[in-house]
Amino acid sequence: GTRPAPGGITWKHDPLHMTAGPYPYRLDLAAQFWQRITCPVLIVDGAQSRLNLPIDERARRRALFKHQRYAIVDDAGHALQRHQPDAAARLILEHAPSL
């Protein structure tokens, strides 16, 4: 969500989001779900994200989505909506009509 800030709004942040979840991440299970998604999907990486996987692995995972569009946002890390909010908003608004 958002909250009021000088000159507009800013993103809210939940510190719990920075902790480990109760279950390990299972790529095999995620892949089963991803392959069943039929709506257009926007996949965005921050160019400076430290969470980026090798290029070939990222491409393999993206290919699991039937209708995906991929973008990279410069000068952004993993939380690109905080680092480059205008670029994130532009990508979302460009993608929305395809839904």
What pLDDT was estimated at residue 2? 85
% of the chain beyond a pLDDT of 90? 68
* Residue with more model confidence, 13 or 60: 60
User: Which pLDDT score, from 0 to 100, does residue 95 have?
Assistant: 97
Angle at 39 between CA 26 and CA 35, to 5 degrees: 30
Residues in the chain: 99
CATH architecture of 25-98: 3-Layer(aba) Sandwich (3.40)
Q: What is the mean pLDDT of residues 7-34?
A: 87
| Residue that the structure tokens 């995906």 belong to | 68
User: 56-68 in b/e burial notation, b at 16+ Cβ within 10 A?
Assistant: eeeeebeebbeee
Q: What is the reported pLDDT for 73? A: 97
Mean pLDDT of 82-97: 96
Instruction: Give the chain's mean pLDDT.
Output: 92
Q: What are the residue boundaries of the structural domains of the chain, listed by start? A: 25-98
Element of type H or E holding 45: strand 41-46
Average pLDDT over residues 68-85: 94
Distance CA 40, CA 42 (A): 7
Question: If DSSP codes are grouped into helix, strand and coil, which group holds residue 14?
Answer: coil
Residue 44: count of CB within 10 angstroms of its CB: 19
